[in-house]
């Protein structure tokens, strides 16, 4: 698979608000940040899947500029076993269960995580 094909598929999934990821058919490694060869075993046998979007907070921080919160930034570990950077919609703690979605901001995608009540 060419990187451009991965990007097309990613954009298709992300534009519907879902989270795509890649699974290596040879070594089983799962990852989000797109590469056309497995970063662990260099295999080209990769498949693009759609995550359930369910995960847990791995780390988070509330970011301030001049005492105003500009965002809550962090990392979520999805149930499928890969981690992504995201912004959180509200205060969270490490270990909290979240549901992920995505929105387009300019020409980039922002992954968002919301705490599951």
Partner 1 sequence: MISGFASAIYKKYEGSAFELMADVVSSALDMAKMKKEEIDGLFITYLPGVFDGLAYPHFFTNQVSQYLGIRPKFAEVSDYGGASALAMLYRAYKAIRANEAENVLCIIGGKGSEIRLRGVTVDSMDKLHSGISLTPFDKFFRGLDEMNPISDYALVANRHKKVFKSTDEQRALIAVKQRFNAMNNERALYRDPLTVEEVLKSPIISEPLHLLEAVYPVDGFHAFIVSKRQSQLRDLDVLAYGEAHWPEIPAELNDIVYTPAIESSKRANFNLSKVDAFQLYDSFTITVMLQVEDIGLIEKGKGGLFFEENDTSYKGNLPINTGGGSLNVGQPAYMSGGVILEEALLQLNYMAKGHQVNDVNVVFLNGIGGWNRSHSVTLVLGEKK
Residues forming contacts to partner 1 in the complex (CB under 8 A) are 7, 10, 14, 31-35, 39, 58-65, 67, 70-71, 73-75, 82-87, 94, 104-111
| Rounded distance between C-alpha atoms, residue 79 and residue 52, angstroms | 8
Provide, rounded to whole angstroms, the least separation between the CB of residue 103 and partner 1. 8
- Please report how close the Cβ of residue 109 comes to partner 1 at its closest, in angstroms: 5
Separation CA 30–CA 80 (nearest Å): 8
With 0-12 / 13-18 / 19 or more C-beta atoms within 10 angstroms meaning exposed / middle / buried, residue 61 is exposed
Compute the least distance from the CB of residue 38 to partner 1, in Å. 12
Considering the complex, state which of residue 48 and residue 73 has its C-beta at the smaller distance from partner 1: 73
CB closer to partner 1 out of 58 and 114: 58
């Amino acid at each position: 698979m060419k990187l451009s094909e991965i990007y097309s598929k990613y954009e298709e999934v992300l534009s519907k608000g879902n989270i795509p990821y890649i699974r290596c058919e040879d070594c089983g490694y799962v990852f989000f940040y797109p590469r056309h060869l497995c970063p662990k075993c260099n295999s080209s046998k990769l498949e693009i899947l759609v995550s359930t979007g369910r995960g847990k907070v791995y780390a988070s921080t509330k970011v301030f500029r001049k005492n105003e919160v500009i965002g809550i930034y962090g990392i979520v570990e999805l149930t499928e076993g890969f981690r992504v950077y995201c912004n959180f919609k509200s205060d969270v703690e490490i270990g909290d269960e979240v549901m992920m979605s995505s929105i387009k901001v300019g020409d980039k995608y922002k992954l968002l995580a919301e705490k599951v009540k």
